[in-house]
Structure 1
Amino acid sequence: MKLLVLVFTIFFNAISVSGLFAQKRKEIPPETPKLIVGIVVEDMRYDYLFRFWDNFGEGGFRKLIDEGSLCKNANYDYLLTQTAPGFATIATGCDPSVHGIVSDYWYQRLQNLTAFSVFDEKQKSLGSTKDIYPYSPKNLLTTTFTDEMKIFNNHRSKVVGISMKPEAAILAAGHLADAAYWFDEASGNWISSTYYFDSLPNWVNQFNEKKFSDLYLEREWLPMLAEESYRNGAQRGLASSVGFAGENTFAKKVNAFIKKEAHYGVLKANPYGITLTKDFAVSAIVEDQLGQDEFPDFVSISFSVPSKVGEACGPNSVELEDIYIRLDKELEHLLQFIDEQFGKHNVLMYLTSDHGASYNPEELTKMNIPAGEFNSDRALMLLGTYLNALYDKGKWVIDYNNKQIYLNHQLIEDANLKIPEFQQVVAQFMIQFTGVANAITATTLEQTNYSTGVFSKLQNSYNQKRSGDVMLNLEPGWIEKGDYLSTANSGNNYDIHVPLIWYGWKIGRQRISRTVYMEDIAPTISNFLNIPFPNGCTGSVIEELER
């Protein structure tokens, strides 16, 4: 009897050990990940990670950092930090001077119009009640790492981009994407364009038919925590700032905003827009069958809500902190889904931001910190008056957009004036305004090679065909006057320093303190996949991630 018990004990122990080793073998990461998930939290400053840390749960931001690699000093290396250039830089591994997406909008001289970064008149929208979204990645001048992945794998890899903002979904996914989806404020639907499909996939129509947008519009946005539990609340008092549509966002039904806004755009500025984005992304992963074969797939998931709330309420608001606490919970749900669906070891994930955000200048001045608002409309009016007095009357400035002054070249040449000298006159006038730190001409940027400092960032933002004749840089703490409390679009630390976390697959636990640039993301992923770098890539592999 004892012998029989001993035999059974040895037998079951052997099975147990064998099962353990089998389990270990299953968790060995494959040579390349089955799925790459790029998460971008728009307008997320690096310090938000640790400012809100105490109110995060264990399964979201904390899990990514505790089990992954955190690049503590990841930066953009150009001046005009905006959504479109940020997503293009992440995807291409180069700065705007190369990939061509110099800002969200720029003036097109040949067409004599200011165009959106992803505008394409040859396309039509799919799924919208209004045909006003003819978008594509045609303005992106280089390949992305996903383009190279598609070419390398003979188009057997799948690529999908998802965001409430079209430029984020489109530029993150590249030229060869299978799909890019964005949110339609008019209908509350997820839509796309004819660049990707002849008609929307059935599963997208079915998702839209469930009317989740209507459901979320009926929900209240109330604080998740008691006032004293908010890091920002201790300084400001609960819900003390002005929120979306001029209303205090807490304890107000979202429907109150609908009466003012008359569209579903309010979901871009309340926490249920985060949930809606996450739910659609999960559906896309399942319905598009991502990560199901030996060819790696990619999905970009961009969360736009923090951007809108941050602009409306500022980085020191309780509203923004509440948004990040809720985002943390949605990240936890997403990570749980990915782990259950694929296993952490089969998925490479990174989380970053398209740019940071400024403090509210009014708050800074109350603390005796130099700050202010630059009124570009007033400055341009005075510039026009000055040029008319100096020369003859005429429309010397043909456009202004995002700190870029576009001059009327035809008028300048007809007046027998030299464009470089005219540019310098404008720059010398603009530098006199309070809040303007630098005004540099296109000619100077073309003829001089800057390797460090603010002029290097200006040069990295400058594209000869698309940028203005004179570019402005404001003093630290200064922003352009607008209908927001906070914004980006500078080369200052609060705008260029963003989180960069790597998680899953073969990623180890570590913190990397040296400076890395956002141009390094694309070549690092390309290196992991053993594929060519994007054709305009100037970034470098983050070698610490291979150790």
Structure 2
Amino acid sequence: MRLSVFISTILVLGLIETSTAQLNRSIPSEKPKLIVELVVSQMRFDYISRYWDKFGDNGFKLLVNEGTYCRNARYNYLLTQAYPGLATIATGTNPSVHGIIANKWFNRNTGNEVEATADDKVNTVGGSFFSGKYSAKNLVTSTFGDELKLNNANSKVVSIALDAGSAILLGGHSANGMYWFDTEKGLWVSSSYYTDALPAWVDTFNSKGFAKLYTDREWKALQPIQEYEEADTAAVKSDEKKKSLAEKLKGMMDGIIGKPQPKTDFKVLLENPYGNLLTKDLAIAAVVGENLGADEHPDLLCITFSANRFIGSKFGPHSIEMEDTYLRLDRELAHFLEFINSTVGKENCLFILTSDQGVASTPDYLEKSKIPGGYFDPKKAMILLGSYLNALYGQGNWITGYHDKQIYLNRKLIEDSNLNLADFQQKVADFMLEFSGVSNSTTAHNLQNGNFANGIMVKFQNSYNQRRSGDVIINLEPGWVERNGKVTSANSPYDYDSHVPLIFYGWKAKRKSVLNPVYINDLAPTLSILLGITWPNGATGTPIKEMIE
């Protein structure tokens, strides 16, 4: 009898101990031990609802169903490109302040094109000579990750993406680990701006040869081709356009979407979903290798799935390739969430999913539904503009550059010709309105001297940086995109380019849907408030009240 009582007592105590452990695990820590900022590049807001029925239960659906879903989150500036978007997420302010006005811009002093994160003064760490010559020198404000490090030297910041710009701009200036993919050697690399040598865990990961394994893998449709609803004729080669959809699908019955590239061409990973798989694998290795989320000092892990951007620009948002990419990413997301929950714990990790930009439907796709749209050809436009200026002011090299809807004028020639710069800019702006597809144009003079409270000019002003922006900036009509060698692009203030998902999941994130307007530059201030640290030094956003209440 005594033995049975003793055994029963032990069992009860064991159950109490187990229940207490489970209860403690379900109680969120005072501060999150790990913050994961996951950016799915070029993810339009409508992708979640479009592919909802085909998603599994533990990826995108899990975030939406159990997290705080901001359904009305947007970028509030004109030139919605990837790098300005990533910088906005990280800094809590717009391009006018953080300085990353575009993926590339024109340098008036040197007369050269500037890549947002290129830096010839740093060296590659761990890869080919040119693959690591990047830094955050052009980002003129601090990021959330920078402020986290300043607040607590024991906090770690790690940022990962296939391309250097995505990793750097989301991670900031002072990250412990900053890694991107060297498409020449198939290795994850960094730059001397951040480190002198790769940590052992990155070397170990590189030695496993996952990059070659995924490069050699053929991209086949995840589901039978007949089940895919997306089909964008713009993704079909010109000599195939006359084929019927039935013929096109018949040619794809074996499920092949993309033919394998040469085995040594690692660039293929930029344009297929296995690049996302490789990125997720390294993110998991980073959590283990850096012991992220293992103590009371909050860590930050930044992940950008940038392959989606390259796939979307090549095939368009309404394509089988795009649909298949998201179905695969849903699985990778589910696996990553399961890993984080088993290692760090959902209650200790604040997970944020958003995007750096949207993307426009291809004009060819819109044409099928009789929706207006078209391609604006900047090369032809600049030729005609040059002829107009020569006729008006005499022969001269009046235009020094054109980049992403920004026209840079030869200010020295204008000054030497005793011409008024503001008047010259206005002449150019007025002329650009004569082109089909151009909706608005304004000058640097107007943006510097105006103070706009609402309307499209606010978005112009939020994109404009006096040191880096052009003399004249244009905006195209809805449905119009620049002809740049790709089937489509972003870079407009319209909903399809500016409206993106924003979801908080995990640590103290309530299950709710937020319909109030939210801007993406509100994210960094929100995280700063939650952690009780200083905001990024250029932040202009407002904390999202539904997350801090």
Q: Do both share a fold (TM > 0.5)?
A: yes
Amino acid at match of 2:305: F
Q: Distance in 1 between matches of 2:3 and 2:184?
A: 74
The equivalent residue for 1:76 is: 75
The equivalent residue for 1:165 is: 163
- For each residue in 1:414-455, what CA deviation from the matched residue of structure 2 results, as whole angstroms up to 9, or x when unmatched? 000011010001001111100000110000011111122211
Question: How many residue pairs align between the two structures?
Answer: 538
Does the 8 Å contact 1:220/1:251 carry over to 2?
Answer: no
The equivalent residue for 1:409 is: 411
Q: Distance in 2 between matches of 1:12 and 1:209?
A: 48
Q: Distance in 1 between matches of 2:8 and 2:200?
A: 55
- For each residue in 1:450-479, what CA deviation from the matched residue of structure 2 results, as whole angstroms up to 9, or x when unmatched? 122211101000000000000010000000
Query: What's the offset of the Cα at 1:232?
Result: 2.0
How do residues 138-177 of structure 1 correspond to structure 2 at under 5 angstroms?
138-153=137-152, 155-177=153-175
Using a 3 Å threshold, how does the CA distance of structure 1 residues 288 and 368 change in structure 2: closer, same or farther?
same
How do residues 172-187 of structure 1 correspond to structure 2 at under 5 angstroms?
172-187=170-185
Amino acid at match of 2:178: A
The equivalent residue for 2:390 is: 388
Query: What's the offset of the Cα at 1:276?
Result: 0.6
Q: Distance in 2 between matches of 1:178 and 1:271?
A: 27
Using a 3 Å threshold, how does the CA distance of structure 1 residues 15 and 497 change in structure 2: closer, same or farther?
same
Question: Given the alignment of the two structures, is residue 283 of structure 1 paired with residue 285 of structure 2, yes or no?
Answer: yes
The equivalent residue for 1:200 is: 198
Does the 8 Å contact 2:217/2:260 carry over to 1?
Answer: no
The equivalent residue for 2:361 is: 359
Query: What's the offset of the Cα at 1:178?
Result: 1.2
Sequence identity, in percent?
47
The equivalent residue for 1:56 is: 55
SS in structure 1 of the partner of residue 135 of structure 2:
coil
Query: What's the offset of the Cα at 1:521?
Result: 0.5
Does the 8 Å contact 1:241/1:317 carry over to 2?
Answer: no
Q: Distance in 2 between matches of 1:6 and 1:204?
A: 55
Does the 8 Å contact 1:46/1:497 carry over to 2?
Answer: yes
The equivalent residue for 2:105 is: 106
Does the 8 Å contact 2:347/2:508 carry over to 1?
Answer: yes
SS in structure 1 of the partner of residue 380 of structure 2:
helix
Q: Distance in 2 between matches of 1:188 and 1:116?
A: 22
Does the 8 Å contact 2:235/2:487 carry over to 1?
Answer: no
Q: Distance in 1 between matches of 2:150 and 2:260?
A: 49
Question: Given the alignment of the two structures, is residue 258 of structure 1 paired with residue 293 of structure 2, yes or no?
Answer: no
Question: Given the alignment of the two structures, is residue 219 of structure 1 paired with residue 193 of structure 2, yes or no?
Answer: no
Query: What's the offset of the Cα at 1:5?
Result: 5.7
Q: Distance in 1 between matches of 2:171 and 2:116?
A: 14
- For each residue in 1:138-170, what CA deviation from the matched residue of structure 2 results, as whole angstroms up to 9, or x when unmatched? 1111111111111111x2211111001111100
Query: What's the offset of the Cα at 1:207?
Result: 1.7
Q: TM-score, normalised by structure 2?
A: 0.94
Using a 3 Å threshold, how does the CA distance of structure 1 residues 253 and 363 change in structure 2: closer, same or farther?
closer
Q: Distance in 2 between matches of 1:132 and 1:22?
A: 47
- For each residue in 1:283-310, what CA deviation from the matched residue of structure 2 results, as whole angstroms up to 9, or x when unmatched? 1121122112221110101101111111
Amino acid at match of 1:257: Q
Question: Given the alignment of the two structures, is residue 498 of structure 1 paired with residue 496 of structure 2, yes or no?
Answer: no
Deviates more, 1:188-197 or 1:6-15: 6-15
The equivalent residue for 2:94 is: 95
Amino acid at match of 2:337: L
Using a 3 Å threshold, how does the CA distance of structure 1 residues 198 and 18 change in structure 2: closer, same or farther?
closer
Q: Distance in 2 between matches of 1:169 and 1:128?
A: 16
The equivalent residue for 2:245 is: none
Q: Distance in 1 between matches of 2:192 and 2:64?
A: 39
The equivalent residue for 1:123 is: 122
The equivalent residue for 1:305 is: 307
SS in structure 1 of the partner of residue 178 of structure 2:
strand
Query: What's the offset of the Cα at 1:256?
Result: 4.1
Q: Distance in 2 between matches of 1:462 and 1:223?
A: 42
Q: Distance in 2 between matches of 1:366 and 1:263?
A: 36
Q: Distance in 2 between matches of 1:112 and 1:156?
A: 43
Q: Distance in 2 between matches of 1:63 and 1:13?
A: 35
Q: Distance in 2 between matches of 1:215 and 1:7?
A: 57
Q: Distance in 2 between matches of 1:451 and 1:198?
A: 47
Q: Distance in 2 between matches of 1:321 and 1:26?
A: 37
Q: Distance in 1 between matches of 2:214 and 2:265?
A: 13
Does the 8 Å contact 1:213/1:276 carry over to 2?
Answer: yes
Q: Distance in 1 between matches of 2:379 and 2:261?
A: 29
- For each residue in 1:299-329, what CA deviation from the matched residue of structure 2 results, as whole angstroms up to 9, or x when unmatched? 1011011111111111111111010000000
Q: Distance in 2 between matches of 1:443 and 1:360?
A: 33
Using a 3 Å threshold, how does the CA distance of structure 1 residues 285 and 4 change in structure 2: closer, same or farther?
closer
- For each residue in 1:384-418, what CA deviation from the matched residue of structure 2 results, as whole angstroms up to 9, or x when unmatched? 01111111211100011010000000000000001
Query: What's the offset of the Cα at 1:21?
Result: 2.9
Q: Distance in 1 between matches of 2:9 and 2:217?
A: 59
Amino acid at match of 1:163: A
Structure 1: 5+ residue stretches without partners: none
Question: Given the alignment of the two structures, is residue 342 of structure 1 paired with residue 344 of structure 2, yes or no?
Answer: yes
Q: Distance in 2 between matches of 1:417 and 1:242?
A: 48
Using a 3 Å threshold, how does the CA distance of structure 1 residues 310 and 175 change in structure 2: closer, same or farther?
same
Q: Distance in 2 between matches of 1:241 and 1:138?
A: 40
- For each residue in 1:217-255, what CA deviation from the matched residue of structure 2 results, as whole angstroms up to 9, or x when unmatched? 22111111123432326xx69x97459xx9999855966
Amino acid at match of 1:316: H
Structure 2: 5+ residue stretches without partners: 242-247
Amino acid at match of 1:197: T
- For each residue in 1:354-397, what CA deviation from the matched residue of structure 2 results, as whole angstroms up to 9, or x when unmatched? 00010011121232111000000000000001111111211100
Does the 8 Å contact 2:124/2:189 carry over to 1?
Answer: yes
SS in structure 1 of the partner of residue 516 of structure 2:
strand
Q: Distance in 1 between matches of 2:278 and 2:328?
A: 12
